[in-house]
A = this chain, B = another copy of it.
Amino acid sequence: MKPGKEVTIYDIAKKLNISPATVSRGLQDNPAISKKTRKRIFDMADELGYRTNHYARNLRQSQTNTIGVLVHELNSNFITSVLAGIEKITTEAGYDLLIAHSSESAVKEAANARNLFHKRVDGLIASLAFDTTSLDHFKPFKEKGVPLVFFDRVEQDADNTVVIIDNAKCGYIATQHLIEQGCKKIVHVTASLKRNVYAQRYKGFRDALHDHGLKFEESQLIVNDLSEKAGVEAALRMLKMKPMPDGIFITNDFVSAVCMRTLKENGLRIPQDIAVVGFNNDAIGNLIEPALTTINYPGIDMGEIAARNLINHLKGISDIHQTNTIIVRSELIIRKSSLRKPV
């Protein structure tokens, strides 16, 4: 193995006195090649330390065997689970992953989309940033016929395939649970209502209040950016309300934990004074006190489903445009933060 010099199929061909085409076929397990030759090819490849030049192959085949993944952040349990699911499926199918994250910025998201497009991904799986409103940056993909699958944070128009949970239902059952625990004034802490997930959860929240004859005032809705600072502020704001809320439904477990901390620091008891329900079922929920009631939904499944749909489409097994919306199961996990009555 001379350093610096790459082994090519020509080297293998020469050593074996066969043609490069045969080597190429052999390496791909083409059935037209006899068992013996194939074995000789593989052995020689090993011996010489051959490695495929993916760039030559991709150039030739004009397809990259790469799937782009566009997410808002990497730092949540949920996202890493989704990634794990995607990775499992794509790896099995022999695709590479190019992962980009937008740090919740629509501008960076557009830049990443452009980059992935220029990298010629065969398909794209994406979850949108907070403030993404237009889907223009995905247009090039559509024009080139590169299939798109959105998950979780999506924009639902006619021709996107989306993998989501029933956020409205989740919002409803979370709120209903609080009502069943005796809460009369429930505050909802969430992020920009322009984003489907938050809009839907809010809708569920409102519907549940309405169906149970509870009234709603604007002050019961707190919209922020789900940061630690925002969590503290939300809690302080609730402390000043008259009357104070006796239940909170928060759209994210981290912010729930922050809120709870601030409330407890101010002498409130959870769930007696205020019952709390979060969202996502992050590890944190089971470590804080009291343990957090939350909505669980399977990131890994969402990832697998998104990836599988995309790949089946790429392989021509199914057409992605036929399956428009896939809803993944979700459930309420009841823990102490909301439990005022025996179950």
Contact = CB atoms under 8 A, between A and B. Distances in A.
A58 interface: yes
A53 interface: yes
Contacts of A228: 283
B59 A55 contact: yes
A120 B51 contact: yes
Contacts of A3: 143-145
A118 interface: yes
Contacts of A74: 74, 80, 83-84
A64 interface: yes
Given A77-B75, A83-B74, A120-B51, A6 B98 contact: no
Interface in A78-98: 80, 83-84, 96-98
Number of copies: 2
Interface string A58-77: 11001010000000001101
Interface stretch (A151-159, A236-244, A284-292): A284-292
A261 interface: yes
A122 B322 CA distance: 41
Interface in A253-276: 254, 257-258, 261, 264
A257 B284 CA distance: 9
A334 interface: no
A75 B117 CA distance: 27
B288 A143 contact: no
A107 to B, nearest CB: 14
A107 B229 CA distance: 42
A54 interface: yes
Contacts of A53: 59, 120
Given A3-B145, A75-B77, A80-B75, A117 B51 contact: yes
Contacts of A287: 254, 257-258, 261, 284, 287-288
B62 A59 contact: no
B96 A99 contact: no
A32 interface: no
A278 to B, nearest CB: 12
A58 B55 CA distance: 7
A1 interface: yes
Interface in A117-140: 117-120, 140
Interface in A203-237: 228
A4 B284 contact: no
A83 to B, nearest CB: 7
Contacts of A62: 6
A117 B53 CA distance: 11
A343 interface: no
A-B pairs with lowest CB-CB distance, top 4: A55-B58, A55-B59, A257-B287, A51-B118
27 contacts: A3-B145, A4-B144, A4-B145, A6-B62, A49-B140, A51-B120, A52-B118, A54-B55, A55-B55, A55-B56, A55-B64, A55-B120, A56-B59, A59-B59, A74-B74, A74-B80, A75-B77, A75-B80, A96-B98, A96-B119, A98-B98, A99-B99, A254-B287, A261-B287, A264-B289, A283-B284, A287-B287
